[in-house]
């Protein structure tokens, strides 16, 4: 998905706990974020895809999470496949700060992302 966004001309600010994967994103053309909060502060929209509920809560709602950095009017897109009740709670926390939240779980994994080749986002 990163390469699809970059190919479409979008600026991507990347951050992640895996330094090797983050370095690869930067090598591909993404700007390096200092933290989840930094990404939220620098981007009008942000997205993440985590494996488990605690990870999503940490990345979005944690003390150094995306929401901490977001300005009102920003958009957070969660592409994780998590319990809808958790997504509703995160959406409510975002709404309280004036931030939009979109629950958009992905399917098909990396092969489908490569195959689809987004034209714009």
In the chain (121 residues long), the average pLDDT of successive 10-residue segments reads 90 94 95 97 92 93 96 95 92 98 78 51 39
All domains in the chain, ordered by first residue: 2-116 (3.40.50.720)
Count CA atoms within 13 Å of residue 58 on its CB side: 10
Q: Which element (helix H / strand E) includes 93?
A: helix 84-96
pLDDT of res. 1: 81
pLDDT at 113: 52
Tokens of 43: 């981007």
112 burial type by CB count under 10 A (0-12 exposed, 13-18 middle, 19+ buried): exposed
DSSP track, 32-84? EPSSHHHHHHH-SEEEE--SSHHHHHHHHHSTTSHHHHPPTT-EEEE-----H
pLDDT of residue 17: 87
pLDDT number for residue 81: 86
How many residues comprise the chain? 121
> What is the structure's pLDDT at 115?
60
First to last CA, the chain: 10
pLDDT at residue 41, rounded to an integer: 97
The whole-number pLDDT of residue 51 equals 85
The tokens for 71 are 């300005």
How far lies 109's CA from each of 38, 52, 58, 85, 117, in Å? 26, 16, 22, 23, 13
């Amino acid at each position: 998905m990163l390469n699809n966004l970059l190919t479409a001309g979008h600026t991507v600010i990347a951050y992640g706990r895996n330094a090797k994967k983050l370095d690869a994103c930067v090598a591909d053309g993404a700007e390096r974020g200092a933290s989840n909060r930094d990404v939220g502060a620098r981007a009008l929209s942000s997205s993440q895809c985590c494996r488990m509920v605690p990870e999503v809560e940490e990345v979005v709602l944690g003390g150094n999470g995306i929401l901490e950095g977001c300005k009102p009017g920003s958009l957070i897109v969660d592409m994780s496949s998590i319990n809808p009740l958790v997504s509703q709670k995160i959406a409510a926390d975002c709404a309280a700060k004036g931030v939009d939240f979109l629950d958009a779980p992905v399917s098909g994994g990396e092969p489908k992302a490569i195959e689809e080749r987004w034209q714009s986002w």
